[in-house]
Structure 1
């Protein structure tokens, strides 16, 4: 079959690459064209556009780049018609993908959505469009199945969280080898994960780096996103106690004692590596003002949302400052607090539904595409 896959950010590139591997394994005649990143490119298929050209964060930022976004949507529609896929697979990225779902449905193309838009957080009225435009939905968070089926009478497939596979399948690296490879000191490591988009990195990293001259007994390491060059990060690095490592986030987390993480998928990844963390988020003033009026959630991190309680501290907008960050970092380096966090992390992993999400999803996509 012919598959057209759209992923618009780094996390989608990761999950898309694993899904593509499973599709190729299950369908020897698979032809895949995709929007994604380097990880998906490594698997095979043909890239239509890289996600680095798509990612705009926040309401104000989207408005400023609306012309580029509309051009991308127009190109995508033409590209889909030219490729003539048997099935369109959308991975998260709802602002863009929901528009493409509507278009594809009208063109008679089967629409499968892997990793649901977070309509349980905001824009719940999108359920009407999902029911209208999406043929099959594959959800990865345990509470999403009940949300869709019990609250909205829309059947979905809970496939488990793909991060469990990504983490368990990785090639492990020892602490000694990691230190030698990246020329790190013998100090315990604190990982800094400022995000993958330039806009969020600019807002997050400068505050995160202020911790380096307050915790001299630790080595601070910035996890560089694969979509950004070192030169971009270099402008923020002034402390000798800071190192930069690009595109090795999992290796870094596997040897870290603590982490400061920008809200997003990375918060869950950090928890699955059993690393005590502080979750941070800051956007433009206008984006935050709009967002807090539209989003009705008690927490912003996936860790706390899944566990339905505060497992990790969240510092949002004005709370994300040097004083608060220093105080919270002291807390997660204290052994008594760490023990409590570790126990919650183990419970979190149990809730995520086990391994094999990509393989389950690929098998269901093929089965449902053949029978529908």
Structure 2
């Protein structure tokens, strides 16, 4: 347990001693918890921007390499929280509950000015609620998908977080309806991807011919997704290839386990003649290099939008889950893929559950290949949405956190968010 060193004006850190802010007897203390790679990157960007405003600030909590490099004292590594799937969560539940209990005690002893839970809602929201009850200001960074599932959760999230930082513009109004303070800060991916992606460079990087039609196929980054979607996606790709001589197909695999699952599907006799290249990672490069993308619903659809590529979206959930979703009317939107939700209309054909068949997927993919004018018509929409999401997410988030955590502290002038 850390000593209550705030009383003595010092801070425990693996890094150099902070410069004391002359307006206060102690530096700003910021605790953060990130549970996976995407959260680690978000946390690092936020730390860097907070440090430009409060150079003496001290950061501690749970994070990965990026947050450590940004100057955070990591009490636990983010990998300790990174578990996926119901069976894995259940297996690790006792350890996770013990970790959260010890972390809560350490945070209450350290008394940060603000606690920021980055995504990982199952772990962070409960922790935030208990810290908030003890008088610590709390922020939840990355809203769960309340726009799609059970919007009433917004009120529950508000009981945990004083402030919710949202990546998408349709989220704050839902929170406002439940009296919860939420701010749209933009999406970091919109900063990372160029407004004008370089298809030629991407094809060169992947060794693809510049004059051939290319289809990128992304059946998901988790084994369960590949099990439910992989065969249908490859079957659809085979149908497209039969109608388009010379088609090149690239399939990025998120990790070694996903590659093994994809290779097992590819080994089926019906796919033996398919001109298919499995990649280790490089999903973003594959999208930029392609003419059309066939992919599972999720964050990858946002990347395809930012890559300015026509896409077809498919998704299947476990039949039992689908039954419960329909029975209790848990899904509150007519469209489920992010590009369509952001645009407020269908710009990417999407097929859910029983409609996610090889025939439907292949027909929609072939439409994009056969109608270049339709593919060109969505480009201005993609660009407009890209600009809408490009709000300087880390800087905007840091400004909102600073106003909540340190309203009395003078903040240094920070650069305006990039247009």
On whether the aligned pair clears a TM of 0.5, the verdict is: yes
Deviates more, 1:101-110 or 1:14-23: 14-23
Of the three residues 71, 74, 77, the one matched with 1:48 is 77
Within a 5 Å distance, the mapping from 1:125-274 to structure 2 comes to: 125-149=152-176, 151-168=177-194, 175-176=200-201, 178-186=202-210, 187-214=212-239, 215=241, 216-225=245-254, 228=257, 230-238=259-267, 239=272, 241-274=275-308
Deviates more, 1:98-107 or 1:312-321: 98-107
Query: How far apart in 1 are the matches of 2:127 and 2:256?
Result: 24
Bigger radius of gyration: 2
Of the three residues 25, 28, 34, the one matched with 2:62 is 34
Deviates more, 1:306-315 or 1:123-132: 123-132
SS of 2:279's equivalent in the other structure is strand
Q: Between the two structures, name the one with larger relative contact order (CA 8 Å, sep ≥ 6).
A: 1
Deviation at 1:276?
0.4
Per the alignment, residue 11 of structure 2 pairs with none
Query: How far apart in 2 are the matches of 1:250 and 1:338?
Result: 19
SS of 1:209's equivalent in the other structure is helix
Cα distance change, pair 337–13 in 1 and its aligned pair in 2 (3 A): farther
Within a 5 Å distance, the mapping from 1:95-114 to structure 2 comes to: 95-114=122-141
Deviation at 1:102?
1.7
- How many aligned positions are there? 362
For the 8 Å contact 1:7–1:51, the answer to whether it is kept is no
Per the alignment, residue 102 of structure 2 pairs with 78
Cα distance change, pair 55–5 in 1 and its aligned pair in 2 (3 A): farther
Per the alignment, residue 311 of structure 1 pairs with 347
Using the size of structure 1 for normalisation, the TM-score is: 0.84
Per the alignment, residue 148 of structure 2 pairs with 121
For the 8 Å contact 2:162–2:181, the answer to whether it is kept is no
Cα distance change, pair 204–336 in 1 and its aligned pair in 2 (3 A): same
Cα distance change, pair 203–41 in 1 and its aligned pair in 2 (3 A): farther
Per the alignment, residue 276 of structure 1 pairs with 310
SS of 1:50's equivalent in the other structure is helix
For the 8 Å contact 1:221–1:244, the answer to whether it is kept is yes
Cα distance change, pair 363–301 in 1 and its aligned pair in 2 (3 A): same
Calculate the aligned-residue CA RMSD, in Å.
3.1
Query: How far apart in 2 are the matches of 1:248 and 1:39?
Result: 20
Q: 1:18-48: per-residue Cα shift (whole Å, max 9, x none)? A: 3344345545444343256x76566564352
Cα distance change, pair 22–191 in 1 and its aligned pair in 2 (3 A): farther
Using the size of structure 2 for normalisation, the TM-score is: 0.76
Q: 1:179-220: per-residue Cα shift (whole Å, max 9, x none)? A: 454444553322122222221122222221223433142221
Cα distance change, pair 119–213 in 1 and its aligned pair in 2 (3 A): closer
Deviation at 1:51?
7.3
In the alignment, structure 1 segments of 5+ residues that lack a partner are none
**Residue 349 (str. 1) matches residue 375 (str. 2):** no
Deviates more, 1:191-200 or 1:16-25: 16-25
